[in-house]
Structure 1
Amino acid sequence: MSRVKRQKIDEDNSKVTTKFEQLPNELIVLCLNYLTFFDLYESFFGLNQRLNQLLLSKSTIYIDSIPETHFLTHCFNLSHFLSQSQNDLLALRSYDENQFELIMKDHLFKDKFSRLKSLTLNNIHADSIYDVIFNEEMKLYDILERLFLSEVSEKDEHGSAVNRLCNRLISSKMKSLKYLNMSFKPYRCGCENNIQSGRDKVDLEFKRKASISHLETLIIGEIDGEKRTQISFAMLTDQLLPRLSKLRTLMIDSVYFKHERKSPSPGVMKNKSILTMKNLKTVKVWINRQDQQHKSVLEDFFIKSSSSNDLIVEIFCGDDENSFE
């Protein structure tokens, strides 16, 4: 390589951004999104005014993976950070039940989550979620607008916390909640081989005479994953949908027909179609392969229940989205 070419390459390389702080704000924020809040605070907070402002403007706080030896100190840091946060739409993510409970139930944070609009929880027991959301001091049920619950389960084999949680979430108690995405997993014992105890699916049940929910979007189950959450057709049409008058989008990964070997009679369907869902725009439902003959029943129910001319109803069989195409 000639000396002139080498000199040219060296000059070009000298112009390349080599320091993290030289990146534009958009790229820095993108990089910061991959770190937990503990790592962000320990590594970047307090370095300079620009980084502080970028951190304080973040909408999502990921509070997992806090070393036990730093937990108490980090709680004070988090409290201080929330007091200075410039974002009015705060989102919180947690995949660690113990740390989530310790932070959310501590009086240090009683007033710190008053701007919390979105909550994402994974692999946390249903009763723990219930105790936090419906805590009368924090009153998250008044302010939450979006809620993502994944891999939620019972603490014991014969528990009823999952259905208790679902019934309360899908009611007028959640005054601001517009979006709810929830999936569940069956209870597993704590034995050495992690042998599953009980059923292989979670069967959701809803009570009668529940108050009307403000939900506009409801997603039940892991739409793109393993289908372990299910609801019967009768439970869906008689108990759940009547409390969802404002619903616009419905997605359920497993609806089954409990004791029916053939499609429900016209008389039964006539009574079910009294339900009116004037806002419903999109329905996407999966059914079991053995219930394939009931596809038209579901389609007819939603079409007759909706007053919208542009309603889209898609019923799929098993895991194959194209099985009915």
Structure 2
Amino acid sequence: NIYLIAKYSLRAVDCTAKRNMAVLTLCFIFLLHIYISVSESFAYDPSTDKEPLLSCGSRLVRSMQTSRIVGGSQVRVGEIPWMVSIQKKKGKKRIYFCGGSVLTERWIVTAAHCLVDYNLKTLIVMAGEQNVNFNEGFEQLRNVRKVVKHPFYTVEGSLNDIALLELEHPLRMGYKYRVGSICLPDQGQSFTGSCTVAGWGQTAEEENQNHGDLNAVSVPIVKDPSCNDLLPQQSQQYFICAGYPQGGKDSCQGDSGGPLFCPDPMNNAIMTLAGVVSWGVGCARPNLPGIYTRVSKYSDWIKEVIPNYSPYYKNSAPRRTTYLTLMTISISFVLVLSRNMH
């Protein structure tokens, strides 16, 4: 029996009463009410600390090892969970134009040159996205509250080519949502070896349109003269070069603002934001590596802009199991009751 409170008195309702559709319906509504109430009690609340924490730089699905960006491979939702697309609204359409990376539930980092000419009212960020042309169920659209370009950004030379976007509403993050944050490097930290660049840009220099699917490719950090030859000596401190001497793999047009991320030297499973796609000469040409804003030069500035920055975020994964369990119990209960009526 289920006891219902009605007009300050308790009365029992026999949910197994045969041939009583009204009672069965009442029981179902009551169970559904319990399900909704419990589900809402587990709703994501950034103001509480009850959820387990995840570290920045953690992939939320197992990385695919197959081996298009130029010369790269397609990735799945959650494989690069900090990746966001920056778009502008035009009527009922959304137009992708740059990439970005999640730093916290409210802050995105991208390239300043993406925002030389923008309208805050039409600027949006899309997280949890794999294809910019189709919705697949994990997308979270957020309007932008504020744009903070580096105060010393210069269009000429692209010096200090970095900007932050504050979202109007926080992102929902964790395994369930396939959205997470990327780790910031320490101020002045340097990187070596193989790193990864991702984006929705062109997959070949001669293409005239961006690619719909998110792609990624591994590229080595370049520290030889082929990088220095591209940069005036006074600007080398602002940039990182990455690419192969023979070319063939690189970021390209449309990838601007996206991440170049490298494994943490102490934990290869954790990824750190080494660079932001800035510029290059063509795409994937021999001896012409891609040029990335050196994020470690701006880590202190970023932490000054973002209040209470933390490399950890709340994970909402356990609630998905709770939802499914509650719904399964409710449906099973009703099916049993229905059979008892016949």
- After TM superposition, the score normalised by the length of structure 2 is 0.22
* Structure number with higher strand proportion: 2
* Structure number with higher helix proportion: 1
- After TM superposition, the score normalised by the length of structure 1 is 0.22
Structure with greater contact order relative to length (CA < 8 Å, sep ≥ 6): 2
